Amino acid sequence: MTLTTPTTRRLAAAGLATALAVATLSGCAEEAPTHEETTSSSTDAAPTTADSATATTAAPDGAPTTADAEQKTEEPADETSSPTSLESSDGSFEVEVPGGWEDAIDMLDEKGVLLAAKDTERVDDFFTNVVVTTEKSVKNLTASVADAAKELAGKDGDYELLDAIDVDGEDAPGYTLVREVKDTQVHQVQRWINHDDKLYVVTFSAVESQAEQTAPLLDEILGSWSWTG
């Protein structure tokens, strides 16, 4: 008979979260069109300059000219959008994810996953994402986080322990590590939160080259965290 110790369960929860974040959500990138593909399709379907010129010549006085249309096209679009509120599958909390992100919970068919969301744009064939899983609460949160970081990083792995932050009244210590996924270096931040009798493991993943740029996104997500259950 195999005994499952508290330490084993904690490592399993942490490992599940990191594996889901880098494997399942990066895999869906193969099915999504790239920005270049979308741009190319739009360009192929667009009228030629000659067509535009013909249309302009035939247009009545006062109609917009080709130059006017080009000027409007060159104006930068407003890419900012409001955050989206998401509720965990068990109804215990809700968060706001950045504008341009989408709910990804349906992509993860694993027990213990409470929430998943990802960017709709990818970088180096990877979608920046956040995954929240749950497990039974732990007594010594800080020590458990340190043990998990060391174990998951491996003998030659590089990790950094992070000071605890406040997540809606609960301490959330964490760590960062870098792992390779399909020849891409992925930077992950994991935060552990004890609340009532549950442990919530929050894993945020982005390509390493975007780690500094995307760090504020995790801060915003955790800053919006609200216990509802």
Q: Is 148 helix (H, G, I), strand (E, B) or coil?
A: helix
Given this model, what pLDDT does residue 46 score? 43
State the average pLDDT over residues 108-126: 89
- Classify residue 176: in a domain, yes or no: yes
pLDDT of the residue at 6: 44
Give the pLDDT score at 43: 43
What is the C-alpha separation between 179 and 156, in angstroms, rounded? 11
Top pLDDT among 154 and 64 is at 154
pLDDT of the residue at 125: 82
Structural tokens at position 6:
């508290």
Q: Is the pLDDT of residue 68 over 60?
A: no
Percent of the chain with pLDDT over 90: 50
* pLDDT attached to residue 163: 97
Q: Under a CB-based contact definition with an 8 Å cutoff, are residues 22 and 188 in contact?
A: yes
Tokens standing for residue 67: 């130059």
CA–CA separation, 6 vs 4, rounded Å?
7
* Residue range 113-132: mean pLDDT, rounded: 92
Measured CA to CA, the distance from residue 120 to residue 102 in angstroms comes to 7
3-state helix, strand, coil split of the chain in percent (to 5) is 40, 30, 30
Give, in order, the Cα–Cα distances in Å from 34 to each of 39, 76, 109, 150.
9, 20, 25, 36
Q: In this structure, what CATH number is given to the domain that contains residue 212?
A: 3.40.1000.10
Whether pLDDT at 56 is above 50? no
Minimal CA–CA distance to 87: which of 111, 107, 115, 112?
115
Interval 15-26 mean pLDDT: 60
Which H or E element spans position 27?
Answer: helix 25-27
Any domain includes 69: no
pLDDT at 181 over 70: yes
Q: How many CA atoms lie within 13 A of 96 on its CB side?
A: 11
| Band (180; pLDDT cuts 50, 70, 90) | confident
Residue 58 inside a domain? The answer is no
Residue 184 banded pLDDT, cuts 50, 70, 90? confident
Q: Cα(214)–Cα(223) distance, rounded to whole angstroms?
A: 15
Position 179 in a domain: yes
Confidence of residue 205 (pLDDT cuts 50, 70, 90): very high
Show the domain range for 170.
8-33+100-227
In a domain, 93, yes or no: no
Number of compact structural domains in the chain: 1
Residue 50 lies in a domain: no
**Inside any domain, residue 157:** yes
Does residue 166 form part of some domain? Answer: yes
Residue 152 has pLDDT above 60, yes or no: yes
Of 70 and 148, which is predicted with more confidence?
Answer: 148
